[in-house]
Every structure is written in structure tokens, then in C-alpha cells.
Amino acid sequence: MEQKKEKLAIITEDGHEGIQKLKDRKLTDLFSFDAITSVKQAESLPSSTDYTGAFIMTMGNKMTFTDARAIAEIVVEKSPKLRWVHTLTTGVDFLLSLKLSEAKHITFTNAKGAYTRPLAEFVLMTVLYFAKKMPVFMKQKREHKYEKHVTQLAHKAHVGIIGYGNVGRAVAKLLKDSLEAKIYAITNDPVSEEEKASLEFVGKTEDMDKMFPKVDYVVTILPLTPKTKGLINASTFKLMKPETIFMNIGRGPAVNEKDLIEALKKGTIAGAGLDVFEVEPLPQDSPLYDMDNVLLTPHSTDITDNMLDLSLDCFQTTLHNFLHNKPHFNKVNMELGY
């Protein structure tokens, strides 16, 4: 007798190419599924479904994260057999609702590790962008000026990383391999003695003030939780050196944007490389657009030509673990928010 397949609710926008990619990988041979593309469709589900898992396959474009969360809440409520929810994204702040966090019987997983390389490359690019005085030279180019300036060596740069998780470690590795950078880490999670030996400094959030005077670059890679919202603010920037280049590739609201703009205007810090913002899309009247000392990308650092494949690689591994009752390497702690 053939073993009954697991049934998944795939929460996604209508016509998402990921459905076909799942079929091309023959993953849909391993489970049956329904594609749920709207809140209305979710509301029309029977009061008790037979879903055992759910895959939130959206990046917040055609289907907003608000709708994705609302659908997930309905699916969880109507699916007594549901044991697993996976999201295409790394960040899970959009899922941190009371209804979902109270579902203790469900394991939540994310795309941990899928986007580490492109995010690390953004940091490397930003270090070189400012070390080689590209803002100055690009401005001269626009003004048809030809003036020489002294640039900096990025070799052995001192880089502080706030949020030394999966992405933070990828950033550290790339900077060490390419620039022999000296890495300072801020993390509230355990770090092995062996790993500590490879770092210049390891501290917790309350130790940031000890790190800032020692580094030339600060990279924030924080998830969005009640504890991290606005963690980087005016008092934080005042502790940094005037030469500091600040970067945010985590979650925009972890940084008080008004305070950041003020620090950039006053010269409290030298510049910033930003891929995420407090409000997205970044409002057209934001002063950040007009600041020569800001490198700005529209939350697109992890949008590469193989982005979906990278995330589906992660889903495939996680699906295998789910089907065979194996531990998940990418389990999310819904209380901590990451």
C-alpha cells in the first residue's frame, strides 16, 4: 500500500515561477499541494484541512508580506495536522504575530544561508567604494573635473559586525579572504573558543561602545525584533569614529533613520552603505537620495539571477528533513524572532 503523501499549502502569488521549478526538481512527486494566492481563497478553505505543512513562497512583491501572514494565520487555524511552516525569506519578522507565535506545535523554518554570499559581496563592495573614494570621483565625473585624490588601502581593514550569525560569518570570511580584514563581532549568541581566537573582539550588545573606537567600518545585520528596533540611534553614532563607514544589510527599522541622516549631515560618521530602510520603498523625499556620502540600493542586494534557485535549494533540504523527521538546521525561534 502506497504511503500517504504529506500535503502542503503553498502560499504564493498567482503564476509564481517557483511552482514550475518545484515540478522541474520533481519535488512535487514527494507531496501534494494547493497553491493559495489570496486571503479570500484562504478564507474559503474548509474549517478543517488536511495540510501538514506550508511553504510561504513570496518575497513581498505581488503578494505583500501582510497578506502572506494573514493567509498563514488562516491556514494554521484551519489545519489541525499542520506541523511545519517554511518561508522563502531569511527574515521572519512579518510572521511574528500572536496567532503564529502561539502555535507551539508547529516548527517554523527559513531560508537560512541562501543569501549569505550576495550580502557579503555588498559589504566588500561598500568597503572598496569608500576606501577608493568613489563618491568623490563620481561627483568629479559628473562635473567634468579631473583632480587627483589620495585613497586608502582596504587591506587589513578593521570591521565591526553587529549580528554575528550566518550572514555575519559569511561577511567575515569574505573580508578576511580578500582583504585580510580584522573582524570584531557583536552577538548575543554563543561563540566557540576556537572561533573567538580568529576574531579581534567578541562582545554582546551592551559591549558595542567598546568596539566602535577600534573599527573603521560597522556592518549591522540584525533581525527585526522588539529588542532590535531602533537599537542603532543617535547615541550609538556618537560612539563611532568620524571616519566610520556604516552599513545596514539586516532590517531597516533596527536603525533610527532620522538619527542616521543627522549623523551623516553633521559628520559624526563619514558615510553609509544602505540596502534596507525604515520605510520601504524609501520615500522620494528622503534626504538619503541626495547625499554624496551614501551608497544606496533598494533592498536588492540579495536579488541575484539565481536567487530563487538558492532559496529552493534550502527548501529542498528542509523538505527532506521534514519528510524524514530529521532535525532542521534552519529552525526559527519565534520568541526571539530569528
- What mean pLDDT do residues 223-249 have? 97
| Whether the Cβ atoms of residue 11 and residue 36 lie closer than 8 Å to each other | yes
Residue 123: pLDDT band with limits 50, 70, 90: very high
pLDDT value at 1 more than 50: no
Catalytic residue among 17, 102, 180, 280: 280
Q: Say whether pLDDT at 209 is over 90.
A: yes
pLDDT over 60 at 2, yes or no: no
User: In whole angstroms, what is the distance from residue 181 CA to residue 172 CA?
Assistant: 8
- pLDDT band at 61; cut points 50, 70, 90: confident
Which cell numbers in the block locate residue 251? Answer: 532590517
Radius of gyration for the alpha carbons in the chain, expressed in angstroms and rounded? 22
Predicted confidence band of residue 3 (pLDDT cuts 50, 70, 90): low
Q: And the C-alpha cell for 164?
A: 554575528
Active site residue 280: yes
User: Is 16 exposed, middle or buried (CB count within 10 Å of its CB: 0-12, 13-18, 19+)?
Assistant: buried
Instruction: State the pTM of this model.
Output: 0.93
Catalytic residue among 16, 69, 251, 257: 251
pLDDT tens digits, one per residue of 266-303:
999 999 999 999 999 999 999 999 999 999 999 999 99
Of 299, 320, 324, 335, catalytic:
299
Q: What's the whole-number mean pLDDT along residues 82-102? A: 94
Region of poorest pLDDT, from 2-6, 12-16, 68-72: 2-6
